[in-house]
Amino acid sequence: MDFELATIDYIIIALFILITVGVGVGFSKKAGKDISSFFVGGRNLPWYIAGTSMVATTFAADTPLAVTELVAQGGIAGNWLWWNMLAGGMLTTFFFARYWRRAQVITDIELIGLRYSGKAARFLRVFRALYLGLFMNALIIGWVNVALMALLQVFFNIPESQLLWWVALAMVIVVLYSATSGLLGVAFTDVIQFVIAMAGTIVLAFIVLDAEPIGGIAGLKAQLPSWALDFFPKISADQSVAEVGGTLTLGLGSFLAYITIQWWASWYPGSEPGGGGYVVQRMSSARSEKDSIYATLFFQIAHYCLRPWPWIIVALCALVLYPDLSEGDKKLGYVMAMKDYLPDGLKGLLLVAFFSAYMSTISTQLNWATSYLINDVYKEFISKEASDRDLVMASRIGTLLLMLVALYVTSLIGSIAAVWRFIIECGAGLGLVLILRWYWWRINAWSEISATIAPFVAYALSVYGFGWSFPNSFFFTVGFTTIVWLVVTFMTRPTDRAVLQKFYNTIRPDGNWKPFRSPEEKHQSKIGKLLICWLSAIALAYATLFLTGSIIFREWSEAVVYAVILVVSLVILKRTSDQVKIFAD
């Protein structure tokens, strides 16, 4: 191995590890009270802790590398392949955050027991707990581990045969504090890790911009092709995939798939339609309904508007600094810039930033997945009489076992992109059920079961039967799944009325719940006003994103336009949200 770090770099890394483990040990007593304390922190997190923890979780070791690759292939506009998911996130903020906090669940899967009835509900709860907690969680951790392996290999020249052992060491450190401290330790270390990670990426952006080959923003713009700086993709009548080495170009079908359908139709970790996974875990851990809404709103703005720009700047610089990288290695331009341009001390800081991003994601994935296995399988169906102490111990053991499963899956993953495509398409069509179960009483457990299984059938038919690729396979999967779950819904019996009545009394949802409202209840739908809040918040977020970019690249006329949109959308959001009291206690 060829380690290129100075003593100060090692000291910085060691201090970071000690602080992280120390925070975990400090919260161990509070986490050990019961599984509510272990998995949702006693439901007492302020919005800024819960929201920052959400943002930190979505910042993994693979994220800057992925953005670097997107920019290399499609310029700044290449980021629309994930920027499009903002609409779904804002939907959760205004339509579902309050409901999730009101439900008082530990996991999103626990909602199945509150919303549905019968053997189908019990099967669905176990199936989704195992599917998400074991299978999907292992895939997610696996692709994050693969990105960390790329970082280690480039930075330290570690032989490929040894990479998995170093990743295992990193996961052991994560398990030491996450299994000890539960969500409280995970959330508070997330905040520390996020601050370090963002500080490190901002420092890197400034240093690389000032490097002699770049010469600041003006020099960067002068050396880049114009397509690299376009904020918006091109729409083509005959092309369905992005161009490599030009502004992101989408065929009409791909545009419709990404921009108008994917955000509500597809289940995707961290962007589940209606909320799910660790986002629900953080909303459930918030100390009030208002805190859950503020946390998710902060998450959307920080995730989509503020955090990407330091990554994008370094990615653009990498196009100038490393023009000869092959297409498969474009993403490594970020790590190479770290290695080549950071002085001693700052190398350690940036490595700590990457390790922080990695650890915040892995700790959340382990804690979140274990919550499914313990709360929704072990406690509910295997050991109903288990004491609080036994459940906490089972949670800690489960965290360790999940680490071992994830390490094994890591060794099998050859392509991060392949895993990403699989998750997107095999969750296509499920999203509408996850949204409507809150607003339409007729949705039952069989609706969700069929909507979970149908995408796998449709994906197999479209890819292996018809030979289709994205977006045709995606459209087919969404359409097929929607037809299947609608037919199944009307062919099966509704959820038991007593269960539906209890759900309505607990949540007080809007929408089609008339059979369960008392005659004396005066119901006035807020859906119209919430739609205005949602649309204005989307406009606010995108305006913030592009205003920041325009200021960075000194495009002042564009900055004025985005500033006006930002102010107008903020005023509309404030007035409309006051009318429906969305941010009230």
Position 420 scores a pLDDT of 61
Residue 61 forms part of a structural domain: yes
| Average pLDDT, integer, range 561-566 | 97
| Average pLDDT, integer, range 37-52 | 88
Give 424's pLDDT tier (boundaries 50, 70, 90). Answer: low
More confident residue, 406 or 249: 406
Chain segment 521-533, per-residue pLDDT in tens = 777 889 999 999 9
Chain segment 297-355, per-residue pLDDT in tens = 999 999 998 889 999 999 999 999 998 887 777 888 888 888 888 777 777 777 777 77
Mean pLDDT check: name the lowest of 46-50, 105-109, 357-361.
357-361
Same domain, 346 and 489: no
The DSSP output letter for 245 is: S
With a cut of 90, say whether residue 124 has pLDDT above it: yes
Residue 300 forms part of a structural domain: yes
Residue 573 forms part of a structural domain: yes
Check whether the bond before 310 is cis (ω within 30° of 0): no
Range ranked top by mean pLDDT from 291-295, 327-331, 395-399: 291-295
- Following DSSP, what letter does each residue of 62-81 receive, concatenated? HHHHHHHHHHHHH-GGGGHH
The tokens describing 236, both together, are 């083509």
| Average pLDDT, integer, range 364-386 | 86
Position 536 scores a pLDDT of 97
Same domain, 192 and 284: yes
Same domain, 415 and 529: no
With a cut of 60, say whether residue 68 has pLDDT above it: yes
The average confidence (pLDDT) of the chain is: 85
**Domain containing residue 474:** 429-515
Same domain, 276 and 197: yes
With a cut of 80, say whether residue 367 has pLDDT above it: yes
Residue 134 forms part of a structural domain: yes
With a cut of 50, say whether residue 553 has pLDDT above it: yes
Residue 1 forms part of a structural domain: no
Domain termination site, one of 494, 515, 536 = 515
Range ranked top by mean pLDDT from 231-240, 266-275, 393-402: 393-402
CATH number at residue 135: 1.20.1730.10
Closest residue by Cα to residue 178 from 398, 376, 399 = 399
Residue 520 forms part of a structural domain: no
Same domain, 316 and 344: yes
With a cut of 70, say whether residue 416 has pLDDT above it: no
Same domain, 475 and 542: no
Domain termination site, one of 425, 443, 464 = 425
On whether the pTM is more than 0.85, the answer is yes
Closest residue by Cα to residue 106 from 85, 133, 131 = 133
Percent of the chain with pLDDT over 70: 93
Which residues share a beta bridge with 234? 249
Q: How many CB atoms lie within 10 A of CB 339?
A: 17
Residue 370 forms part of a structural domain: yes
With a cut of 60, say whether residue 417 has pLDDT above it: no
Same domain, 462 and 356: no
With a cut of 80, say whether residue 541 has pLDDT above it: yes
Range ranked top by mean pLDDT from 269-278, 424-433, 453-462: 453-462
With a cut of 70, say whether residue 419 has pLDDT above it: no
Residue 242 forms part of a structural domain: yes
With a cut of 70, say whether residue 101 has pLDDT above it: yes
Same domain, 282 and 213: yes
With a cut of 80, say whether residue 393 has pLDDT above it: yes
Same domain, 435 and 420: no
More confident residue, 133 or 449: 449
Please give, one letter per residue, the 3-state secondary structure of 10-79.
HHHHHHHHHHHHHHHHHCHHHHCCCHHHHHHHHHCECHHHHHHHHHHHCCCCHHHHHHHHHHHHHCHHHH
With a cut of 50, say whether residue 208 has pLDDT above it: yes
Position 242 scores a pLDDT of 46
Chain segment 2-11, per-residue pLDDT in tens = 446 677 777 8
Count of the separate structural domains present in the chain: 3
Same domain, 482 and 550: no
Same domain, 396 and 454: no
Backbone conformation region of residue 508, classed left if phi is above 0, alpha if psi is from -120 to 50, else beta: left
Domain termination site, one of 488, 515, 542 = 515
Rounded distance, CA 535 to CA 130, Å?
36
Same domain, 354 and 286: yes
